[in-house]
Amino acid sequence: YNNIQTKETKDKNLLTPCPQTPPALNGTMRLLVPAQETLEEVAQQLSWLRFLEGGHQTPLDCQARYKIAIIVPYRNRLANLCSFLLNMHPFLTKQQLDYTIFIIEQFDDGLFNRAMLMNVGFTEALKLHDFDCFFFHDVDLIPENDRNIYSCPDQPRHMSVAIDKFNYRLPYVDLFGGVISMSRTHFQLVNGFSNMFWGWGGEDDDMASRVKAHDLNITRYHPDVARYHMLTHAQQKANPKRYEKLYSGRKRFKTDGLNNLEYRVKALKQLPLFTYLLVDLTSRR
């Protein structure tokens, strides 16, 4: 029986590279609904998947081309989180990716700072693995088409082009919110997101400015493919200072971002469905 190889014992290094376009995609996604809105129940519904720890998966039959981190900013949206995990894991598995989902929860109850949580996620993820690229992903957006491939982008890519809530139309041409992907190198080049946007709005536009100021281009898939469903949630109050911060942002690209990030990690856990980070943004290390 010496020559018998089972999937389990196959040496990862002997696997052939995964195809550029994964097989068995059909251009649709059926929205899965959690039977109950608890993480235990979602893990139960996903028990057919073979998870490595911390929401990490690798394809079984081929060698993935790159390592991907999905960074999700989070606070107090459990229903959205359950749907997100239930739908994203099968979607990313089908695309034969080596990926890890990170949930970055803001611990303090000050104004939410989505952009800063992204910077924390990027920084902490790189302490754990050598990721090639990053998806900065709202918890309430679920892809509707499995051909919307989460591959590492050559140029920064705006993923959530056509959202049902916006009648599948891009609200404005420079929009860079919702779901974006960037290589590790490009995210470092632009010094990450600004840390100065507290409350709703502006941080995504500031990132678009950073990308352009560094001679990078925002790219997009075709709107027929880059389609998303937005889950329902309570609306945040807009930050009245967002325009002011946005217009003066350019002066701060070099000094406000990854290189002046301060936070305190309250918890770091490898849970079955995701790597969990609880962070205090308002107190210093």
Residues that bind ligand UD2 (CB under 6 A): 72-77, 112, 114, 138-140, 160, 163, 175, 177-178, 200-201, 203-204, 233, 236
Three-state secondary structure readout of 42-93: HHHHCCCCCCECCCEECCCCCECCCEEEEEEEECCCHHHHHHHHHHHHHHHH
CB of 26 to Mn ion, least distance (A): 27
Q: Point out the residue whose Cβ comes nearest to Mn ion.
A: 140
- Of 114 and 147, the one with the shorter C-beta distance to ligand UD2 is 114
119 to 178, contacts with Mn ion by CB under 5 A?
140
Tokens 């302490």 correspond to what residue? 127
**By rule CB under 5 A, what string of x and - marks binding of each residue 200-219 to Mn ion?**
--------------------
CB of 233 to ligand UD2, least distance (A): 6
Binding partner at 101 among Mn ion, ligand UD2, none, C-beta below 5 to 8 Å by kind: none
CB of 265 to ligand UD2, least distance (A): 18
CB of 231 to ligand UD2, least distance (A): 8
Q: 67, 130 in Cβ contact below 8 A?
A: yes
In 3D space, the residue among 180, 143, 139 whose CA is nearest the CA of residue 158 turns out to be 180
Neighbours of 209 (CB within 10 A): 18
CB of 283 to ligand UD2, least distance (A): 19
CB of 149 to ligand UD2, least distance (A): 19
- Total residues contacting Mn ion by CB under 5 A comes to 1
Binding partner at 160 among ligand UD2, Mn ion, none, C-beta below 5 to 8 Å by kind: ligand UD2
Binding partner at 139 among ligand UD2, Mn ion, none, C-beta below 5 to 8 Å by kind: ligand UD2
Sign of CA dihedral 257, 75, 42, 23: negative
Rounded Cα distance, 206 and 194, in Å = 7
Strand partners, 270: 275
- Of 64 and 175, the one with the shorter C-beta distance to ligand UD2 is 175
Rounded Cα distance, 218 and 208, in Å = 8
Q: Could you give the C-alpha distances from 130 to 59, 122, 134, in angstroms and in order? A: 17, 11, 11
Task: State the residues that interact with Mn ion by CB under 5 A.
Answer: 140
